[in-house]
Structure 1
Amino acid sequence: MSVQTDKLEQLGSDLGEAIAETPEYETFEETKAAVEADDEIQAQIAKFQDHRDTFMTARQAGTATQEMLDKVKSAQSELHNMSKMAAYLDAQKALQSKLEDINKAISDPLAVDFGGEAGGCCQDE
């Protein structure tokens, strides 16, 4: 491996560590842990997934109903309205925004979307 490649990999590692120390990442991890540890939220997630899976299966079979879709939307709404889940979703959005800013800072000098386009040789346009 070249010295330049080693340096770039070290910079990448340093960047990852720096991201992990941001308030956005720390809040994301804290809220994620809270959601994962909450039995009520986990039960609501399971309920939402069950309704969604039932709806998707019915949709593929051509038998989906508005009532099925309403159950999915209702379960999702109940889930998103739970305070710990809402905090997690807010933290997820804040982290995504921070990562997009970092992606832009990396991509601008390269004239490529580092996070989205770099590495693809044959992409559909």
Structure 2
Amino acid sequence: MSMQTDRLEEMGRELGEAVTETPEYAAFEEAKQAVENDDEVQAQISEFESLREEFMFARQTGNATQEGLEKVQSAQEELHSMPAMAEYLEAQETLQARLEAINEAISEPLAVDFGGEAGGCCHD
């Protein structure tokens, strides 16, 4: 690798470390720990995942029903309404918005829109 590439990667690591020092990241980590330490939330996550896997299998085998979909949606709504999980999802969304803003700042001076280039290259 060239010296410039090494420096860019170093700057990337420094940026990552700086992100871990933001209030958004701290709130996310705190909310994540709360979810991981909450037995009720963990039980509801397991219930939701089980119902979702069941439904996905039913869908693959052509046996999916509206009732099955509604069970999955209901379990997800119940999970998302739990205070610790709701706080986690909000913290995740806030951190994601911060990361998107950082990505836009990085992309601004570049002539390439990486999101727009996903489907192909070199459109006139």
TM-score of the alignment, normalized to the shorter chain, above 0.5: yes
Q: Distance in 2 between matches of 1:61 and 1:111?
A: 46
Identity rate, percent: 62
- The one-letter code of the counterpart of 1:124 is G
Given that 1:58 and 1:64 are in contact with CA atoms closer than 8 Å, whether structure 2 keeps it comes out as yes
Q: Which runs of 4+ in 1 moved over 4 A?
A: none
Q: Which residue does 1:61 correspond to in 2?
A: 61
- The one-letter code of the counterpart of 1:103 is N
- The one-letter code of the counterpart of 1:35 is V
Q: Which residue does 1:93 correspond to in 2?
A: 93
How far apart are 1:113 and its partner, in Å? Answer: 3.8
Q: Which residue does 2:43 correspond to in 1?
A: 43
Q: Which residue does 1:73 correspond to in 2?
A: 73
TM-score by length of 1: 0.88
Q: Distance in 1 between matches of 2:77 and 2:22?
A: 29
The structure with higher relative contact order (CA 8 Å, sep 6+) is 2
How far apart are 1:9 and its partner, in Å? Answer: 2.0
Q: Distance in 1 between matches of 2:3 and 2:67?
A: 61
Q: Which residue does 1:105 correspond to in 2?
A: 105
Q: How many residues align?
A: 120
Q: Distance in 2 between matches of 1:10 and 1:23?
A: 23
Given that 1:103 and 1:113 are in contact with CA atoms closer than 8 Å, whether structure 2 keeps it comes out as no
- The one-letter code of the counterpart of 1:24 is E
Q: Show structure 1 runs of 5+ residues with no match.
A: none
